[in-house]
Structure 1
């Protein structure tokens, strides 16, 4: 058998679609996603939402920060993996996204003490949050500020906590060496900074538009 025959073939588009849709969205997250699409936003897809729920459940997350509210889709996905005593802090400068998130959370039966929505520029808000107090930080805001967000996440996370960077493959632009637009360059710099940080143990997953996960050791 040749070496090439030992290497499994990469999934084709049908397999990727099958994997992405394998876990159905809860009715609540599905409704939030439909509302976001109706508002002409671009919420995360089914596979990403399902993985966020699994991650908060897997690490027993009680305190979570999300940067970029995503009209409630990511926040609700995170909350559904947390226990009822957990608290999500969601930061976004756009009040309409936060208003949509509040509707999504309340429609899903989340209590007001399970989430706090902070309207403001993330780089103004994040330094005010407590060091080492969070189990998970989701980076999903302004792509041009990703490097700074990850730097703040390292400070905010407890040891054993996790940073999750959404859009880490930038819709296939990261793997294109000829693509040097601003967002692509910044996301590449973000990935490099995580890989080079000794405190992080990372993995890059081709879920949605790419998710980079890193545990703070």
Structure 2
């Protein structure tokens, strides 16, 4: 797809993607990564949370868009994934002070983060837990902060009402809930596997 190759990935990103494939963990598609970079840059996002570190693919895109004094907090229950992400960050030459890598379950870590402090929260892991993660993310965002939910079209299944498997249904309901939530202004972007965006009022 043209939009996925419009901004090509360099060697650092490609190696991070290879690590992710070796570990069997998902990564944002290139079109989504490029969009995340643009969003982080346009907001000058200095405080960002990522749910689901993986091998660091999305984190690299975000860090490239963030100001040099920005800090990314990234959460993953798999220490092996975070080890791979550290390799990716080292290859990129990221100052270690710019990343706060927290191992653990997101449902246990997110409640410990500061309310209303963050510019951007990316939810990109464990779709079955999206409803809880999204609610926690809204609590973390400052007014004008941005929530981004990856895999929001879930392989184009969400738009098909005949698809009623558990994960598709959960992801579809998250979209509906945000669409009707007066706390946010939402939009669905068909980049990658779908990126659901919502700005905190």
Same fold (TM over 0.5): yes
1:39 offset after TM fit, Å? 3.2
> Is 1:32 aligned to residue 48 of structure 2?
no
**Secondary structure at the counterpart of residue 170 of structure 1:** coil
Find the partner of 2:7 among 16, 23, 32. 23
Separation of aligned partners in 1, 2:9 and 2:37: 10
Q: Which residue of 1 aligns with 2:69?
A: 85
Separation of aligned partners in 1, 2:89 and 2:5: 23
Separation of aligned partners in 1, 2:116 and 2:66: 19
**Secondary structure at the counterpart of residue 73 of structure 2:** strand
Q: Which residue of 1 aligns with 2:28?
A: 44
- Once the two structures are overlaid, the 10-residue window that deviates more, 37-46 or 56-65, is 37-46
- Deviation readout 1:29-66 (Å, 9 max, x if unpaired): 22211222233333221111111111100111000000
- Deviation readout 1:104-149 (Å, 9 max, x if unpaired): 0111000110001111110000000000000000011110100111
1:188 offset after TM fit, Å? 1.1
| TM-score normalised per structure 1 | 0.90
Q: Which residue of 1 aligns with 2:105?
A: 121
Q: Which residue of 1 aligns with 2:95?
A: 111
Residues 136 and 163 in structure 1, CA contact (< 8 A), matched pair in contact too: yes
Unpaired segments of 5 or more residues in structure 1? 1-16
CA RMSD of aligned residues (A): 1.0
Residues 23 and 81 in structure 2, CA contact (< 8 A), matched pair in contact too: no
Residues 93 and 122 in structure 1, CA contact (< 8 A), matched pair in contact too: yes
Counterparts of 1:1-217 in structure 2 under 5 Å?
17-217=1-201
**Secondary structure at the counterpart of residue 57 of structure 2:** helix
**Secondary structure at the counterpart of residue 172 of structure 1:** coil
Separation of aligned partners in 1, 2:13 and 2:118: 23
1:70 offset after TM fit, Å? 2.2
Separation of aligned partners in 2, 1:206 and 1:23: 16
**Higher Cα radius of gyration:** 1
Separation of aligned partners in 2, 1:149 and 1:20: 27
| TM-score normalised per structure 2 | 0.97
**Secondary structure at the counterpart of residue 71 of structure 1:** coil
Unpaired segments of 5 or more residues in structure 2? none
